[in-house]
Structure 1
Amino acid sequence: MDLPDIVQARVSTLEKQLSKCKRQLVRLYYSDECDRFEQFRDEVFIGILKDTCALVHEAELVRAPYLAELAKAADNILDDAIAYSHGRQSDSSGLEEALYDLMPSWAHDDAQNRPLVLDKDAAKFPLAHAALESLMQLPIFKCAWVQVVKINEMTTKAWDPALKRHPKSTKLAQFRTNSSLTRTTKRPLATRVLDARCEVSSSRCSVPIRFLTGPDGTFLALTGMRGVKNRSPHWILHSQSASCTLYLLPSERYYHEPRLADVASHDFARHPHLKSQNPYLDDTHGKSALLGSTVEARRLIFLGDDDCIKSYEWGSSTEVYEDLFPVHTLDTKHYQGPMMVLPDGSVVRAGKGMLAKIKSFDTRRHDPEKIEPSSGSAPTSHIKFFDHPSSNPAPGSPSSHLLQLSKTDPHLFLSACNDGFARLYDTRYSLPVVTFHARGQNEFCEAAALAHPNNIPRSYHTTVKAEQIKCGCSRSSVRLRIGNGNNAVRSLAWDASNNSLYAATKCSYVNSSGQNRKYRPARSLNNQQRQTEYETKTGNQTNTQAAAGLSTLGTRKTISVICLTVETIASVS
């Protein structure tokens, strides 16, 4: 149906305001009035985006019958503004650079029960803690005592054992000093998660890209890179047996090398303009990311590069094969976006302005050579995006590169976004329900996982330079941070059946040849030394965050999968 006249008038007003705002931004940009330009950008430009979201939210509250049409009109305004802010429009050529490297959040509204969950400590200092020691060694900081004091006030404080919420809380966890959370016996599992009462184990792996999990949780797969300069696609299967409650036992792990022609790379390699902002992302090899999807009932995994998708059977109902059994090859040369397997067994993959659907797998795989010459099965049908004919979805796009579905509540899903935010969505609403501030100032939200202990949603999200996992809930700021030593987290996965969080990590200070650079080893201190350092050296020029037993994870591991298993209810007195 058509929009009512009064609503259409408000939409037209927002469109005119956006066009006028663009022209004014160009004038201010070339007038060398930096302060006015930034103020106008942050107040007027972002204000238009907030007003657009508010218009949609008003229609949702009254269950307006024209909500779908209004959402499309608002989507056009938001897409136009986002493209302009990143310099992807022809009318933005008047600016020599994009408006934002990372846009602030504008889809939240605390007054309308769509909160922005902040990590106040992360916003104190926009520099990775690993580089802080080097910065403090500069002569200017040694001489300027006032500057040193100010920086120490902004940095993360030393680990304080008095802040442990429970005697069994892991030493890798750091809690906020003003935590208002209270324990309850009605929801014991949620309390154990917030108390970080967990066991930590780690195991080496290839350079990680992304975790893949099945809906039933019987296996966990990790796509990655290995070989010369990490150019070869690789994946690891962690299978769960009846006698094994952890995926990380060596006897339950299987390594495979899918025979794909394109070299493997991290998702961010698709966006060099974004990658250049983060020197800690050093996996620049190749042009294609290794994508994947799974069919748990058939023991199939689909892996793809920019040219094709290949399926492999990794086991039967009674065993896991030592070697992958090749099954199908699918031709997706013009579709390089994310993929998924539908309930009817067909495979869909996104491309520019359309989807390819492959339902008839008429090619059987024969792999006598490392690279199969067959082009594979052609798409059975094509689905066009009429509302977004130029849309080019990709796992590394600035909107979101990871979706984490909720097994407990099918209406919820969590996205990890390149703008530095993790967002919790409810499919019954157009706007994000909760926005988690994850970037700390200038970082991407690298990975996110959604957990539901005792039906309470919990978000685990992480960035690269922070080298820690943050736990947040929907109504309070980040209360818990779990350190990973010198390892940056690349992917997260939550195992609800075992109450375990899996983190695929990589050390940013070790290159593909195994050489160390700018390495920051952890200092393991005993309890007396740690307490003395906390009491007497709060103004010291060294960062003591790593002193809290981070060597437990083996901080010199270059690549590893870390498992944090929450203490079971039966084991607690």
Structure 2
Amino acid sequence: MSGPWLNHLDGIGQQFEVMVEVNALDENDPEDKKFLKMLRDICDVVRDAEIRSAPELPEVVEKAHTVLDKLLKYAYLEDGLFKQYIRCFAYSDDNPVIEDSLQMAGSDIIEAVMSFFTQYLHPGADRPPLPEFAKTDPWIKTPRPHPLTTRLSRFRSGVPISVSASTPRAQLIYQARAEVKQYFLAAPCAMMMSSDGSVLAMAEAGGYRARDPILRTVRFDEDDEDGPDMLEFAGKRQDTGLSNVARELEMDNERTLIFLADQDRIKSFRWGPNAEGKLPKRLPNVHTMNSERVYNGPLAVLPGGRLLRAGKGKAALWNLDSLETHQDNPKKLIGEGKVNVDNSWREEDSTGIERSSGSKATSIVAFADDPDYQPATWHWHRPTGVLLCAERRRDTEGFSCISMDIEHGGRRVTRYLGHGHDPEKFATSPSDPNVFWTAGADGYARMFDIRRSLPVLTFDTGRQSDACAGIVWIHPDGIPTLFTGGERTAQIKMWDVRARACLYELSTGNNAVQHMLWDDRRTTLIASTDRDSAFTMGGPRKFRKAKIPTWATFTAAAAAAKPYEKAKADRDAHGADSSEAPETHEQGNQENASGEDEVGSQDEAKDEGDHDSDEDVAAEEEEQDDEFEENPRYMKWPTNAYHNEQFYGYAYNAGEHVILQYKFRENPDYDLPASGGDDFF
């Protein structure tokens, strides 16, 4: 005998139709409680069916998806209910939504409000004091758990650190003992690292108006523990020969191949040694494959030397070992005729475009359960052998998330519910094969058990003001840890999953996070960042005179490093144990709590607009003018940046597209990246 779950879902669907018909939903209320309650009720029905091990659970999940899809499509119609992202609805007491304990208004919003006040409401008036809810303590008033904690981190007050010396690797990460280094690059499009950590590959948009498809590679030596230096990183880039910028990237570790794809074609490049056993300075183009402008979705490398690319309702598959290569017949085009470049953003006669039309697919795999399903992102889940897949609303009007068995006709294995907008990325960890995370365009990171349809934990990473743009799931010393990256908020947050709390965030120099990955061999977080995307909500970048307190300058950082550098030199000279950090003048919570610092004070750290008198303002500006004269690079700060100059212990503005490395080490280099960009000087 079937249970009541299907009938209950039918009832919710009918209730929704009636409420739409009688205009019972409030289109002016972005958090209409009646609408959100229906969404929650749908999830509660599924959860109850799971708990009771309902025999018709698969039918319940599919019915729930149908009803949710109807409600969500209504919400996002051009004249629909919600103009912004929907609040999280797939939660319960046992499966909660966790917020960041730091609640703050972005500096960009505060600046916009202040400008409106002084220009339009009260022209010529002085800036009013900030209300309490808009104030954020300066960095010197925040916890700092270790003398070598990077100044480009900001820890949350009242959140205990749940690791110890018995978990040394996790302790480095949880104390943010990181070297932060930057490397300049063209606009980042995709990023991936080989499974053995030997090669980092990036797809970039370079050249005039960022129209040229660039492959950048970084090769690590086997014994290299520190990562590349600036010269090595900058020197490995080449034009891929594609007609347009490559947005999809994948790597075959067994065959040492990098795959890049635009709308028309896929090209592979070998990073491994050639026939003579030598590593090439320029990676050779091995294959060219024809996507036929039909299979233009994400790539996946399957076991047995097969490459898969998604289309609508089906995917194309190439058996790599049977394909013609450019080395078989040098200078001969692969495929029938020349590539059609009528949709290319590059110059039609560009010598950079390689003209092969490419090998056609070996076979086509139709998606057995949904002929209209079009994955916009997917991830090969090695423990189960399924593809985790997600749609994009702009392509399909939905954002369904499923696991698919591509080896058995593209059959759907499990449907995952609860996303309020596009799942942008997936994250998995070999240490926990039953769990995966999704990074959502609605600003939530959701944790799923591969065997259940609803999220078991949700982190509110952006408070609905920002997408969750990057996600990394790791287990240092067995401890579950999550990193999430923000676009407009221009930061990376570290979440202690056991404590269910955000422990700290890392600066990205006012750049939007585009992609993140974890280099486990070197205990390093790598993020590619975009100079411009962080400012899309506030218009183009604008600059004002920087207001940098003395404790947030490079000079102050160098002064703080001197005791450490001296102690390190003494230990090296005498062969002493170098694992013990030296005492410095910054000893974390105690000194910060006292409000005193050798190179600055609380008076220098007042929030912008938070001054006791005009005399205080004049004195601070006079002091900052002196600072500008000594440090001319600190002349400007983005007006519409999310963070002001006092949010971190060092005022850093990247000013260009950069890749950032956060290398967690016992004794990190205390140097910090220099601010840059033509607009910054």
Do the aligned partners of 1:142 and 1:148 also contact (CA within 8 Å) in 2?
A: no
Render the CA deviation track for 1:161-202: whole Å, top value 9, x for unaligned: 551111111111111122233443332322322211111111
Q: Which amino acid aligns with 1:550?
A: Y
Distance of 1:315 and 1:355 partners within structure 2: 28
- The aligned residue for residue 311 of structure 1 is 268
* Equivalent in the alignment of 2:548: 523
Secondary structure at 1:315 match in 2: coil
TM-score, normalising length: structure 2: 0.69
Q: Is the 8 A contact 2:137 2:607 kept in 1?
A: no
Out of 121, 125, 145, which is 2:102 matched to? 121
What's the offset of the Cα at 1:77?
Answer: 2.0
Q: Alpha-carbon deviation of 1:295? A: 0.6
- Ranges in structure 2 where 5+ consecutive residues have no aligned partner: 333-350, 378-391, 394-420, 552-596, 612-616, 618-642, 670-681
Distance 1:14 1:467 in 2: 40
* SS of corresponding position for 1:430: coil
- Residue 423 of structure 1 pairs with residue 446 of structure 2: yes
Which AA in structure 2 matches 1:491? Answer: H
Aligned residue for 1:533?
Answer: 603
- Once residues 528 and 509 of structure 1 are traced to their aligned partners in structure 2, the CA distance between those partners, rounded to angstroms, is 37
Structure 1 window deviating more from structure 2 (136-145 vs 190-199): it is 136-145
Offset, 1:386: 4.0
Post-superposition CA distance 1:474-503 (Å, at most 9, x none)? 342322011122322221111122111111
Structure 1 distance, partners of 2:248, 2:38, is 36
Aligned match of 1:444? 467
Q: Does structure 1 residue 487 correspond to structure 2 residue 511?
A: yes
1: CA distance, partners of 2:96 / 2:647: 34
| Residue equivalent to 2:202 | 222
Say which SS state the counterpart of residue 18 (structure 2) adopts: helix
Deviation at 1:523, TM superposition (A): 2.6
2: CA distance between counterparts of 1:146 and 1:440? 27
Q: Check if 1:379 corresponds to 2:361.
A: yes
Aligned to 1:121, what secondary structure does the other structure show?
coil
Identical amino acids, percent of aligned pairs: 26
Q: Distance in 2 between matches of 1:21 and 1:309?
A: 49
Q: CA deviation at 1:57?
A: 2.0
Give the 5 Å matches for 1:389-400.
389-395=371-377, 397=393, 398-400=421-423
In the other structure, the counterpart of 2:586 is: none
Q: 1:328 aligns with which of 287, 294, 298?
A: 287
1:45-194 equivalent positions in 2, closer than 5 A: 45-87=35-77, 96-97=79-80, 99-109=82-92, 111-112=93-94, 114-122=95-103, 124-125=104-105, 128-130=106-108, 132-133=110-111, 135-137=113-115, 138-139=117-118, 140=121, 148-150=129-131, 152-160=132-140, 163-194=143-174
- Determine the C-alpha separation between the residues in 2 that align with 1:299 and 1:178: 47
| Alignment RMSD | 3.2
Tell me, yes or no, if structure 1 residue 454 matches structure 2 residue 477: yes
Alpha-carbon distance in structure 2 between the residues aligned to 1:162 and 1:438: 20
1:302 deviates by 0.9
- Other-structure match for 1:8: 6
- The verdict on how the C-alpha distance between 1:452 and 1:149 changes in structure 2, with shifts beyond 3 A counting, is same
Aligned residue number for residue 302 of structure 1: 259
- Change in Cα spacing, 1:390 to 1:458, as seen in structure 2 (3 Å) is same
| Other structure's SS at 1:335 match | coil
Residue 662 of structure 2 corresponds to which residue in structure 1? 564
Q: Which runs of 5+ in 1 are unaligned?
A: 88-94, 265-288
Report the alpha carbon displacement of residue 45 of structure 1 after superposing the two structures with TM: 1.8
Q: CA deviation at 1:105?
A: 0.9
Deviates more, 1:347-356 or 1:537-546: 537-546
Instruction: In structure 1, give the amino acid aligned to 2:155.
Output: F
> What TM-score do the two structures reach when normalised by structure 1?
0.81
Cα distance between partner residues in 1 of 2:222 and 2:196: 14
- Does the CA-based 8 Å contact 1:141-1:147 persist in structure 2? no
Aligned position for 1:550 = 650
CA separation in 1, counterparts of 2:533 and 2:250?
31
Please tell me whether residue 363 in structure 1 is matched to residue 324 in structure 2.
Answer: yes
Structure 2 counterpart SS, 1:17 = helix
Question: 1:78 Cα shift?
Answer: 2.1
Distance 1:188 1:460, change over 3 A: same
Contact 1:233-1:290 at 8 Å conserved across structures: no
Q: Are the equivalent residues in 2 in contact too, given 1:203–1:248 (CA < 8 A)? A: no
Aligned letter for 2:436?
A: F
